[in-house]
Amino acid sequence: KTGQFAHVPVIIGCCAHESSVIALFDGVCDETFNTFNENPEWLVSPCLELKPGSANAKEAQKAIWDFYLKGKPISWDNLTGYMNYQSDNLFVLGMHLTRKELLKKSKEPVYTYLFSNHSRCICQFSAHFLPAYASILDPSRTCHGADSLFTYGNSEGLPLSPVDKEAIKKHVKAWTTFASTGNPNADELGATWKNDSIAEPCYMDIASPWALKEGVIFSDRMCFWEKLLSKYSNS
């Protein structure tokens, strides 16, 4: 926040369904749901820096519960809201706030992305031996770590189709070009990756095909947290 950091070009982003990883650690089961329901204050993110049990903490707790869970106890019926909360609390919000500080203070470009190519994903083989993983699968949203399968040469258990090979070439080309030049753009991408900014926010949707999108990743959810942070910043 002070601006005292190395000013270098940055690529920053996330996968569409980051919270899928909690299924590996008993985060998606009746016991965990019951524990959260019995301790609803646990949903209050530490980033708000609110004193546990305070009036503000209870107010924030209700706001978070209403926003993600419609005020209802966590269950299999509102799993999507619970998973969205976990994605934001564990990954997306931290990325978003880091991105904002970089855009405000860095002298170098920031390239933001949402990885949403779900053609190769750890869930495809994790679901076979982890019932909890199978329960949270969403074909439209890419799981935590799925981008690594497009970066490294690990195809164990996931045969490569011609489309997969082309997607991997694009991904590796962007990352290696960025590593050598500070700019991820290359003809092979099929889209121009503009740098993000406060005035004109944008991000690359790494799907098939790649597409530059205007705005902020998960803007409605990040707007919710921005309002909470603004409200309690001086508490």
What's the pLDDT score for residue 60? 96
The pLDDT of residue 235 is above 60? no
The pLDDT of residue 155 is above 70? no
What's the pLDDT score for residue 109? 98
Q: What is the pTM of this model?
A: 0.88
What does the block give as tokens for 8? 């270098």
pLDDT tens across 10-65, in order?
Answer: 999 999 889 888 877 778 889 999 999 999 999 999 999 999 999 999 999 999 99
pLDDT tens across 171-226, in order?
Answer: 999 999 999 999 999 999 999 999 999 999 999 999 989 999 999 999 999 999 99
Please tell me the distance from the alpha carbon of residue 115 to that of residue 211, in angstroms, as a whole number: 11
User: Which residue has better confidence, 122 or 150?
Assistant: 150
Q: Are strands 211-214 and 202-206 parallel, antiparallel or unpaired?
A: antiparallel
What's the pLDDT score for residue 193? 98
What's the pLDDT score for residue 130? 62
Domains of the chain, with CATH numbers?
A: 10-232 (3.40.50.1820)
What's the pLDDT score for residue 158? 66
What's the pLDDT score for residue 151? 78
Q: Is the dihedral of CA 139, 33, 27, 134 positive or negative?
A: negative
pLDDT tens across 87-138, in order?
Answer: 999 999 999 999 999 999 999 999 999 999 877 776 766 666 666 556 666 6
